[in-house]
Structure 1
Amino acid sequence: MSTQVINENLDDLKNADNYTGMWKDLWSARDTAWHLTHRNPTLVKYEHLLLDGRKGSRMLFPMCGKVIDMKYFWEQGYEVYGADCAAEAAQDFFKEQQLEYTCEDLDEKSRLYSVADKRLNIVQTNFLTLDNPLINNTIECVWDRGAFGTITEEEQKLYIQTMKRLLAPNFRYLLLVTEFDDKLWTGVPFSQPEEKVRQYFGDFCEIEKLDSKIPDHVGLYQKHMQTPLEVKETTYLLKPKQRGQA
């Protein structure tokens, strides 16, 4: 690795906590317009591809908020980890799902919220710097509903580094991103064209584009953007790149 790349990574790490400020403020105000009160239809449609017949796998929901799909997979016997920077996300999730939980320090930068059987957990942390032996190299299934598309390109580099630390060798990964005319909207979420996805994930993932469509809940995006912008959700299935693949 060149000195230039090392220095760029150090600069990114130094600024990594900048991204959490907006989200912590939104959670403090309970401004969570993006939250779905039902299971995500894309995840429902493709969960068979994500799970691939596996039972009891360890699953990750990056930048999870209080997504109710976490409880669903826990009830199906999977071991679930969410990660979010806001304590309110974890507290609201367990309260709304009527689940008792404990909270303890995971390390100097992270707190772990868990139910009694330790199979349903939310790590309160900066996902961009998450690095802990409890979960490093153990994540078999990932569902990312838009998290990758809510951060800047510099932060996306750290996201990729985090994922490479966390993923087990046999991982499967559903990635959902948004696509729209970024001349009409330049804020969060950011449009993620296919070439961007392949640029960031292509060196370690086999990438299959599953679909791209305007979702039924497009109004959530349009309300946030304050424009009737056509927003598509595009879903990819990611698997480990095999040796010899270009």
Structure 2
Amino acid sequence: MSETSTVKSTVLSTDEWVQSWDKGAIGFHKDTIHPLLEKHLSVMVNGKTNIRIFFPLCGKALDMKWLADQGHTVIGVEAAQQAVEEFFEEQKVPFTTQSVPAVNGKLFQSEDKKLNIYCCDFYNFSKDIAGQVDGIWDRGALVAINNEDHEKYATILKGLMAPGCRYLLSATQYDETKYAGPPHHLSDDAVQQLYGDKYSIEMIDDVDALESRDSGRWGIDWLREKVFLITPK
């Protein structure tokens, strides 16, 4: 954050995240397929079929069902059980549940096993639980967590990335002297610091994402959403 900023950063616990779902404070949820995922899906898939795609802090994103309907296998992680249950109910997808002691949580799984959502603390998750993945869609996840947890978060994602994995990261950028998040400002340099050691990083999109409600809620007058493609070197 800028040294001249007087805005205090918001620190959220996992319990507070769950409570936001209980209270219905889910303004981050979109009721449509994310247009930037739709636009750049071919970049992630890279000509392959039936790939494994990871959704960190997935909520009840419609994108998961959309991808599963195309034959891909989706693995999501979400701390709020309410979000997971609402996803399957609203998408009218029959599911089973099973205990996953290794993460002190549960696996919610569609009957065809194309949709797999682990309800647990994200920081308990690893490749040992569900294996590695071929693609990652990170929208509203990295920018939602506390800044001091970025390294821990990135370490988990690095472990999940199979050789040839293509990771699409959506980053929000704005004047952080006016608003401290979440969603947090994530600079180009911060992305480079997190992943540039072993991964190639390419910005593939940069769009104006400011909505009138954002200006009023957050006191900002500009908001960019950038998409970075992150791939193993």
TM-score, normalised relative to structure 1: 0.85
2:223 to 201, 223, 231: 231
Structure-1 residue corresponding to 2:108: 113
Structure-1 residue corresponding to 2:51: 57
What is the aligned residue count?
221
Q: How far apart in 1 are the matches of 2:184 and 2:214?
A: 11
Q: How far apart in 2 are the matches of 1:141 and 1:114?
A: 19
SS at 1:150 equivalent = coil
1:125 to 120, 125, 129: 120
What letter is aligned with 1:35? H
Q: How far apart in 2 are the matches of 1:30 and 1:178?
A: 23
SS at 2:159 equivalent = helix
Q: How far apart in 2 are the matches of 1:19 and 1:142?
A: 24
Q: How far apart in 2 are the matches of 1:19 and 1:57?
A: 32
Structure 1 vs Structure 2 CA RMSD: 1.6
**1:145 correspondence with 2:139:** yes
1:194 to 188, 191, 200: 188
Runs of 4+ in 1 over 4 A off after TM superposition: none
Point out where structure 1 has 5 or more consecutive residues left out of the alignment: 1-17, 242-246
2:64 to 64, 70, 89: 70
What letter is aligned with 1:24? V
Q: How far apart in 1 are the matches of 2:79 and 2:175?
A: 29
Deviation digits for residues 86-108 of structure 1 (CA, Å, limit 9, x no counterpart)? 10110010111111111111224
TM-score, normalised relative to structure 2: 0.90
**1:184 correspondence with 2:178:** yes
Deviation at 1:19, TM superposition (A): 2.9
Q: How far apart in 1 are the matches of 2:106 and 2:217?
A: 30
Q: How far apart in 2 are the matches of 1:240 and 1:114?
A: 29
Point out where structure 2 has 5 or more consecutive residues left out of the alignment: 1-11
Q: Residue 21 and residue 72 in structure 1: after superposition, are their counterparts in 2 closer, same or farther (change >3 A)?
A: same
SS at 2:230 equivalent = strand
**1:86 correspondence with 2:80:** yes
